[in-house]
Structure 1
């Protein structure tokens, strides 16, 4: 079996809306000028690096924007240009939501369990409902359609509906799930991390809200046919959430039998780690980073734990870290220690994804990882599999259709509707399948 990385292709309306409560990078860059062209090219270059490390790489196309259904539900009607013009005059704050390109963060697209873990031996997907944020909630329907188009072979794949649109089932996708295993083809332990239980949405003295619920994670595990003996639920620490850890992938990352985690990631962390260790009978390598080595604040600022941890063709592991880690003395010292010590991590690559970082997502946010057999991988549409040829065509497409700069005020420009529409029409021709752009 192999791990396949599905990266979200950054869309032409990438802008800094500052829409994500609890995400410090998003909030601190609110209404700055963005560069959609640079953002998409940065993401494309990261895919190239991962593919060259020997990890199969695929893409999720961006979602069409503006999200006209959302605007019409707010009471606006007419042709797209007229709708945008009316919204800009009467309720301009809605344009940032309707034009959000946040589907690029594929780690939030769905929770996925590989066939080695499930009762029926198929890969199971549950698209995230993302109900905690309006600009992300609008993604769920299109994500479900996209997943059902890509993973249509029912012998291998099951794509469930998103969870109910209820507070107690708030679901943020694989950003709060880690799969640990001895080998990819063996049954793994699926660790689900939640921020709160039940209908408790109160913030009280807390700085930021918790997004994922335990009920959502438990229902997904049941849907996917996971064994209770190989499933673990852990709660995010409130200290981490208040420091800006809105998802678990901002404070921990795992791959195969390596679990890299900050000491303040979970409630009763010692007990959580003991339970994981017992399931692996000593074969799990738990690498704990202390707050003294890397404070929560520096972990959030650099997104060190949002690095990708990859098994390469050589059989060893490589960290793919955001460039911010190279410029942080504390993060650099942690990386140097990990590379020096006896563990499977032997190399580190730094990637420039600053446009995504400024909007609140690092390298791991941009990808959804899926363990697959060769037959499962062969059932995917070839149009979405990264190749040097596809890379070149997408690069030309981005340079042709994406604006170099985009401001909040630019979202009111009716011409942007036509520009984006033309870009998506051309992308449909490149991929040879318009149904990949629901």
Structure 2
């Protein structure tokens, strides 16, 4: 295996969601400067889900016009679009246009939609492209996908996004607008170390790096020896070729999956029955719904009652846990469907605890205890670590089933995220079911 190919696959994967992930972590600095205010996250959620028109188009083309869509050209197009849109955000994100007499951040919303189309469509184009490389590099790709959330979060921390200082309120009682008394504290956000414009230019540079990596994956001579003999070969076909040459070699096949010469279904290589295929995709959709939309939408509610430090530490460690799970998968690859089911139940149970604390916010269990904050940080680590590992293993399982399986893998990833967003959006943004409380003055019995 080539170290260069691993590096390029990682950098390529990093371009999958870096733009939207970066936009979300930058919201505390953007919101005070746009007319939409804190309604902006709700608008962005709707735009991101509308952007699923991209993966829907690719999936339908693959289903009804197989082979007619130039996969490489589509990847070049969407990465290039993401690079340009991120760069333009650096210049126009604060521009306001009157729409029906109401000021709106039209440029910000339109460019965000383009970024969302890029990232959503990457799920059904980047993964199938990885069929051209040997199976080992798919795990490296997932590491890069995890880094697409970690790197923007780390840069935002350096920038000083969302850092709160609680200071004494010096206003007299009759001048306060929120009813707070003179003995209460006021939350003051620390000024950023550099502007949002610089942050958006950083995102554009990351997309450009991903574009260069994709270019080298296609044309660098050193990558050629790491390609599969047939770019659309399934794992079963590769095994037959290996057996024809002598000893059977199954370095990336599931050791828990019994070898069989009889097709159990018409899906992929036929190694799984339709019941198992449905089970795999249900788990994949469920895991992505939890990790991509359901729990992230309530992260602030679950963590902020324990303090601003607990919130930032949870966010950073959750972002670290994603690529860490992918890195573990490089060395420990367990594809037993039963094991993945147990791991999914474990992560879901931890996610249920996180959701419970969000529902009980601003007064969750052990709210004033250090152990409560530590348990919340640990919960986010275990939740992301376990379910990210499940996502990687399912990706490897479907990779062995062929190019078509990976296209459907990306489609189910987006479908799960969509269903999670549709479920949480009204609860969080319309009905106001969750309450974060005041970071400096919350009092619980």
Give the TM-score of the pair, scaled to structure 2: 0.28
Structure with the higher strand share, 1 or 2: 1
Structure with the higher helix share, 1 or 2: 2
Structure index of larger Rg: 2
